[in-house]
Amino acid sequence: MEVYVLNSTNHPHIVKLLGCCSEGTERLLVYEYVKGGTLRHRLKELNWYTRMRIARDTATVLEKLHLQSDPPIIHRDFKSDNILLSTNLSPKVSDFGIAKIAPAGDELTAATSETLGTYGYASPGIFRPLNATVMTDIYSFGVVLLEIITGKPAIDHSKEGDEHYLVHWRQVFFGADYVIKEQVLE
């Protein structure tokens, strides 16, 4: 699937597949070398302008996969560890190993019964068997956006309770803010 996806999409912010080899049970994929590290590891050192450029450029990848590919491609593991940065901090989305092609006649879903994605990035119901949709990628992109905006990781093992997961922290943070605003309005 990864070979198919990478050969069928041409985008400046998708890692390029340079070659592949299959001999017996051995498989080898050769990618372009992207030596700037991952977004997750470099996030804290990036300025606001660079963060917003990375967010914009990675959004164009999802636009290409979901809206401009025929049939649409669902990444299913979109996360900051799978966004590689070049030396000039240009993002390259990688790891299409669990990507799915949407079935013919249904541009938005790819049936699956396996676990997909990474906990902390996957939408709440994704760890139950269901249909993967472009919305699963959009949810994951939302988590990446929260990481970019806050500078916090999706999962922080040093925190407990609602602060352990960025999405839960956001719900607590904005939930408290929402309650304060309602009290002021009354």
Which residues belong to the active site? 77
Three-point CA angle 64, 71, 59, nearest 5° = 20
The DSSP secondary-structure symbol of 44 reads G
Q: For the chain, state the CA radius of gyration.
A: 18
CB proximity list for 40: less than 8 A, separation 6 or greater: 79, 80, 81, 83, 147, 153
> Which neighbouring-strand residues pair with 111?
131
One-letter amino acid identity for 75?
H
Measured CA to CA, the distance from residue 186 to residue 95 in angstroms comes to 50
* Coil/strand/helix, residue 19: strand
Residue owning tokens 């401009």: 68
Residue owning tokens 């990507």: 99
| Lookup: tokens for 22 | 């299959």
Under a CB-based contact definition with an 8 Å cutoff, are residues 75 and 93 in contact? yes
